[in-house]
């Protein structure tokens, strides 16, 4: 299994540095984020070192995502939250600081002040059709 000797999450996976681990199985480790956005904020990482979501195999991702319902239920029960956000930051521009894929599971409560600046735009003229074509072409090339 691939690992990076300098990676902080690989060190947590290998139990070389401590973390508040809530679940560990053959494919993932889930632990408390050291800088929580809300109490109970979890990080879920694949055991294997992989920098970006887009580098992961479908099998590797499936084994991580497959645990989300169970982890989500435990998060709701433990944190008393009414819901949660599932977040992946890919790339520095998106806020990725640790170059080992991780899923944030962030408890949400009414009025907690968390959330995105979410200002929806709209497509003019033919732009939505052009983008759809571009997506279909890119997806067909990546088959
Ligand atoms: P990113 O910005 O890369 O999406 O998120 C990295 C997250 O990892 C941050 O929320 C940060 O608080 C958390 N983090 C960084 N180093 C450690 C660590 O050594 N232990 C734990 N438990 N969390 C960490
Ligand atoms: Zn790593």
Nearest CA to ligand 1 atom 21: 34
Look at residue 122 and tell me if it is in a domain.
no
pLDDT of amino acid 117: 86
Look at residue 119 and tell me if it is in a domain.
no
pTM (predicted TM-score): 0.96
**Structure confidence by residue, pLDDT tens digits, 15-73:** 999 999 999 999 999 999 999 999 999 999 999 999 999 999 999 999 999 999 999 99
Nearest CA to ligand 1 atom 11: 35
Question: In which residue are the tokens 């956000």 written?
Answer: 85
Which residues sit with Cβ closer than 5 angstroms to ligand 2, an ion?
4, 7, 9-10, 49, 100
pLDDT of amino acid 143: 85
Q: How many domains does the chain have?
A: 1
pLDDT of amino acid 118: 87
Q: Which ligand is nearest to the CA of 20?
A: 1
pLDDT of amino acid 116: 83
pLDDT over 70, % of the chain: 100
Q: Is 49 annotated in the active site? A: no
Look at residue 138 and tell me if it is in a domain.
no
Residue 75 belongs to domain spanning:
8-114
Q: Catalytic one among 41, 102, 104, 119?
A: 102
Look at residue 130 and tell me if it is in a domain.
no
**Structure confidence by residue, pLDDT tens digits, 112-121:** 999 888 899 9
Look at residue 142 and tell me if it is in a domain.
no
Look at residue 49 and tell me if it is in a domain.
yes
pLDDT mean over 102-112: 97
What CATH number does the domain containing 77 carry?
A: 3.30.428.10
Look at residue 124 and tell me if it is in a domain.
no
Look at residue 62 and tell me if it is in a domain.
yes
Question: In which residue are the tokens 């889930």 written?
Answer: 30
In this predicted structure, the answer to whether residue 3 has a pLDDT above a threshold of 90 is yes
pLDDT of amino acid 115: 86
Nearest CA to ligand 1 atom 8: 33
Q: Which ligand is nearest to the CA of 37?
A: 1
């Amino acid at each position: 299994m691939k690992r990076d000797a300098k990676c902080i999450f690989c060190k947590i996976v290998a139990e070389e540095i401590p973390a508040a681990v809530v679940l560990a199985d053959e494919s993932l480790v889930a632990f408390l984020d050291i800088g929580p956005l809300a109490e109970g904020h979890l990080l879920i990482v694949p055991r294997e070192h992989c920098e970006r979501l887009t580098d992961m195999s479908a099998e590797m991702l499936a084994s991580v995502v497959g645990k989300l319902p169970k982890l989500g239920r435990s998060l709701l029960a433990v944190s008393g939250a009414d819901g949660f956000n599932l977040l992946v930051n890919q790339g520095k521009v998106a806020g990725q600081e640790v170059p080992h894929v991780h899923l944030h599971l962030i408890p949400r409560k009414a009025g907690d002040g968390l959330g995105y600046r979410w200002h929806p735009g709209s497509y003019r003229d033919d732009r939505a059709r052009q983008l759809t074509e571009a997506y279909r072409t890119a997806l067909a090339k990546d088959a």
